[in-house]
């Protein structure tokens, strides 16, 4: 597995989201208002979605393009992988 330039930023975002999730559990256990909890859950969803989008785009921009250019993957295989990846956007 190859790390990309975007991976450290993605890791940072996911660790931040992980911390928020832990605080949401604490909020629920403390009986905090549902509106506050829902707002925090929305923030976590956005953070995870952003990390996923960055990861998929990075893979398309670097891995798929590189394999096609280098000839290590056929265009058909790369298109098939792109279609599979696009389900996650």
Q: Write down the domain spans for the chain.
A: 7-86
Higher pLDDT, 69 or 15: 15
Residue 36: the pLDDT is 96
Residue 71: the pLDDT is 81
Region 8-16 average pLDDT: 93
Burial class of 29 by CB neighbour count within 10 A (0 to 12, 13 to 18, 19+): exposed
- Token look-up 């265009």 returns 75
Domain topology for 7-86 = Methane Monooxygenase Hydroxylase; Chain G, domain 1 (1.20.58)
Please give the Cα distance from 21 to 16 (Å, whole number).
9
Higher pLDDT, 46 or 67: 46
User: How is residue 31 written in tokens?
Assistant: 């009986």
Please give the Cα distance from 62 to 76 (Å, whole number).
17
* Residue count (the chain): 89
């Amino acid at each position: 597995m190859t790390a990309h330039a975007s991976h450290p930023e993605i890791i940072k975002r996911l660790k931040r989201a992980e911390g928020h999730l832990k605080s949401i559990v604490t909020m629920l256990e403390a009986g905090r208002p549902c509106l506050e909890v829902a707002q925090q859950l929305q923030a976590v969803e956005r953070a995870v979605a952003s990390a996923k989008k960055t990861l998929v785009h990075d893979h398309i921009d670097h891995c798929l393009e590189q394999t096609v250019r280098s000839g290590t993957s056929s265009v058909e295989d790369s298109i098939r992988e792109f279609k599979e990846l696009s389900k996650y956007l």
